[in-house]
Amino acid sequence: MKKVLFILLSVVFILNADASSKEIVDRIVAIVNNDIITLSDLKSQLKLYENQINAKRLPASKKRELLYKVRTELLGNLINQKLTDQEAKKAKIFVSKSEVDNTIERMKESNSLTHEGLIKALKKEGITLTEYRKQIKDQLIRPRVINSKVRSKIIITDDEIESFYKANTEKYAGSKKYDLKHILMKKRDNNKAVMDELLIRLRKGESFDKISTKYSKSPLVKRGGRLGFINVEDLPEKLKNAIYKTKEGGYTNVIDTRNGLQIFHVTKIKLTNGKNLLDVTPEISKTLYNQKIEAQYKIWLKGLKKEAHIKVIK
């Protein structure tokens, strides 16, 4: 049932730090049940994005359009946060000052920042330490509220884990490595015709090592032109495509590369160890859990909004 509340269309806050301080005019941009969101709340969230957008080389009209879009999204986020905070209070879920302190200390340590360095970094982003502490607090409290309200609805089945595994075979199946040898000649005179003739001889069964020793200009010629096991994904597109098409024991066509004309011999293909379903079950379970909890959070928020009194004041 929607609550009927009195609506303030605007509010003016006058902050007197000292006799010379100026009036700071603020106003309400949204009412969420008994709480308000002010323009200054919105602006503090908008600062970082505003700086990024203004730094772009875009027409003024495009910048205004982007800022309006970001502003709308941020206001929606602030409304969601207010609803979450209200539910946290009802459920008596709190984040202590020491928890915020510990989170900031861990962040400073992982980024090798001193306290002064943190203040400087925040100032660069247009954020005060007080605003940053609130952001940390909001980030800590949200998952606790979500766990409290929707965790019981999350079930991950074995079938879902197996389906996810099968749908992501490239991620878990491992990768192929190719043991390669090559013949290299410079791009000059009639070398292309010579390389074409060498390829015919190789495919007829002549010894790669003998041909390589006699004709190749590769610095690896003394070891038979052997490049070793290569992850083909790391190679330029032209080489990658040619090698992928070549079977074990086979030869690529003559390839024109920046180093010269080359023929590659695929001596062996090795499949690196992939991850079996049992090994990756915890990882997949966590991924599916996060996906489901995000979906349930949106459903839960939608229900809160339906019952809440929310008014956006433009």
Q: Which CATH architecture has domain 175-271?
A: Roll (3.10)
Q: What is the pLDDT of residues 216-264, one digit of tens each?
A: 999 998 888 999 998 888 888 889 899 999 999 999 999 999 889 999 9
CA distances from 124 to 77, 102, 138, 260 (A): 23, 23, 22, 49
Q: Which of 27-31, 40-44, 169-173, 250-254 has the lowest mean pLDDT?
A: 169-173
- Checking phi first, is residue 33 left (phi over 0); if not, alpha (psi -120 to 50) or beta? left
Task: Considering only residues 172 and 288, tell me which one the structure prediction assigns the higher pLDDT.
Answer: 288
CATH topology assigned to domain 28-155+289-312? Triger factor/SurA peptide-binding fold (1.10.4030)
CATH 1.10.4030.10 range(s) for the chain read 28-155+289-312
- The amino acid present at 284, given as its one-letter code, is I
CATH 3.10.50.40 range(s) for the chain read 175-271
pLDDT, position 25: 63
Q: Which of 18-22, 135-139, 204-208, 258-262 has the lowest mean pLDDT?
A: 18-22
Q: Which of these, 199, 177, 188, 193, lies nearest to 263 by C-alpha position?
A: 199
Within 8 A by CB and 6+ apart from 66, the residues are 53, 58
- Please give the Cα distance from 256 to 263 (Å, whole number): 9
pLDDT over 80 (residue 275): yes
CA distances from 205 to 200, 202, 208, 227, 251 (A): 9, 5, 8, 21, 11
Mean pLDDT of the chain: 86
Phi, psi of 30 (to 5 degrees): -160, 150
